[in-house]
Structure 1
């Protein structure tokens, strides 16, 4: 049971890292290259779609890491550190990224604020930091498997 928990946790976090990496380095650059209205509309749609699922994914990942740390004391240091990093991404998301996302997911070409690009760029900068933290957490979980 313990090994299955370790693998499931690592896979869940790994897939989340892949999605967030793709948003940062694939999807948003594609959206930014689209004509202004199309790119902004794509980002708003992505914000609605991923904004609906990511809270469960982030919290679920953190819960899985916490359970792993309790169940398997041998790798507890790595898993606790990974869990702390996951908790940091949750806090960072709630305080920095979600407020911007909650605004931007409602924007249309008719109602977006004049500084919508600056707000999108701010979200991107915070997201790059979050992705780096997620990669570190994932690496620690993968190391804990060995």
Structure 2
């Protein structure tokens, strides 16, 4: 009886440690996914780039965008900040651990995009989803792969 109680107590303690580790990973990644729109809209580019692994991929199939590596991802945003004003909003997110240091995430977004060069162009409103593969390295969460699915584009 005492042995059974000890084994049950040990299982609860160890199970609690696993849950805490899982919660920490999810919390780290939630923070990264929430920083993404801030840095994408306003910079600085170095902080935006730091959200991605060096070998990250970023694709937007509907716009024929396919980028390899954090340098290419950062360069695209660097030029976008000069020509476009964007306002990103994350409306929901779901992060799921898939292995010890890997998580998947799906975030729904709304993006308002307007030209800084030609104020007569109408504003575009994109609705869609970010489908991410996230990794934990050295206690930090990074976006390793981002696939952007655009569900709807409206013009205002």
User: TM (normalized to structure 1)?
Assistant: 0.35
More strand, by proportion: 2
Q: Which has the higher helix share?
A: 1
TM-score (normalised: structure 2): 0.33
Structure number with greater CO (CA < 8 Å, separation at least 6) is 1
Structure whose alpha-carbon radius of gyration is higher: 2
